[in-house]
Amino acid sequence: MISFTRLFAAVVFGRVSTALAMPALNSRASPDLICGGDRLSISSLPSANETLLAHGPDPSLTGTEVKVHWNVIHADETFNGGYLTSDQVDAAINALNEHFAVSGISFERANLQYTNNSDWFANASIGDTELDNPQAAAMKDQLHTGTAQDLNIYSVGFQTSNLGGYATFPWWYKDSPKRDGVLFKWNTIPGDQSLPNYSQGKILVHEVGHWTGLYHTFQGGCSDSEGDYVSDTPAEAAATFGCPTSPTDTCPDLPGFDPVHNHMDYTYDACKTDTFTPGQVSRMQAAMQEFRSE
């Protein structure tokens, strides 16, 4: 069972319920995307991080192919009802492959399943005290397939919450295998313009980043010396929104400008122009080898 004391990774559009604790917001831009859960506590996962830091990736095992089990959850057979075509799903997977190419991790569609369930489409979301609410838990219990190596993606509507997506971390799989995977808002796929700032598929890229072991770039802010456990992503006081037009440094006592173009921040899709850093690649490779291999 994954509770909020172990936290999930989530992004949301606009405001969130006051029942969820929110990180400090960076005042230099409007909050288009904010974290949907408690601020991630590194101390809650010490053994996982120590394991990854201890051995790093094995260069002989860096080529990893992930089978994708994609579940289209829809209320009806229209796009507004959540229905995605095979071509739209492939476009999203192509975006994953484009942005994860630097990591040696690739994604191949293993199956595509359609489930007509208006309750799941509208209401599947995070829970109040656990990772998944009843609809999301029931959905995963029925549809999840594969092993720790396989990525289960659920495209849903989040119509009764403001979520853009949420994901599980690799080290959670052993305790809760059925809950493993990614939920994301269906209309953030590449090419759709109903949410023009999130139309390049990078919400899904961000969430799969968590699924492969990455934290937010702003994890720990300026006060946490470990931050996101990646040495080449500069510290950042809080999530960045929109797309700053000039370099900013919200942690002036620490080296580097804010990594606002990194996939693991919360800027607009068009702003996320950097590839994953070598440090992020090393962490993903180590996490996949340690927690998502046979």
Nearest residue to 95 via CA among 198, 189, 229, 196: 189
Q: What is the pLDDT of residues 25-76, one digit of tens each?
A: 332 333 354 434 333 344 446 566 666 665 566 665 567 999 999 999 999 9
Domain ranges of the chain: 63-211
- What distances in angstroms separate CA 46 from CA 6, 27, 205, 252, 286, one per listed residue? 11, 31, 25, 27, 15
Residue 294 reports pLDDT greater than 80: no
| 207 given a catalytic annotation | yes
Phi and psi torsions of 26, nearest 5° = -75, 125
Alpha-carbon distance 89 to 73, whole Å? 12
From the list 50, 98, 207, 290, the catalytic residue is: 207
pLDDT score, position 161: 77
Mind giving me the DSSP string for 75-132? SSSSTTTT---HHHHHHHHHHHHHHHGGGTEEEEEEEEEEEE-HHHHHH--B-SSBSB
Q: What is the pLDDT of residues 106-148, one digit of tens each?
A: 999 999 999 999 999 999 998 887 889 999 999 999 999 999 9
Q: Is residue 135 a contact partner of residue 123, using CB atoms and an 8 Å limit?
A: yes
Other CB atoms within 10 A of residue 193 CB? 9
- Average pLDDT of the chain to the nearest whole number: 84
Query: Ranked by mean pLDDT, which of 27-36, 67-76, 161-170, 219-228 comes out on top?
Result: 67-76
Mean pLDDT of 156-176: 90
pLDDT score, position 164: 87
Strands 163-167, 182-185: pairing is antiparallel
Alpha-carbon distance 211 to 197, whole Å? 23
Mean pLDDT of 183-196: 94
Q: What is the pLDDT of residues 233-266, one digit of tens each?
A: 999 999 999 999 999 999 999 999 999 999 999 9
Instruction: Domain 63-211: give its CATH architecture.
Output: 3-Layer(aba) Sandwich (3.40)
Other CB atoms within 10 A of residue 84 CB? 22
Residue 99 reports pLDDT greater than 50: yes
Mean pLDDT of 174-191: 95
Local structure of 224: helix, strand or coil = coil
- Residue 62 CB-density burial (10 A; 0-12 exposed, 13-18 middle, 19+ buried): middle
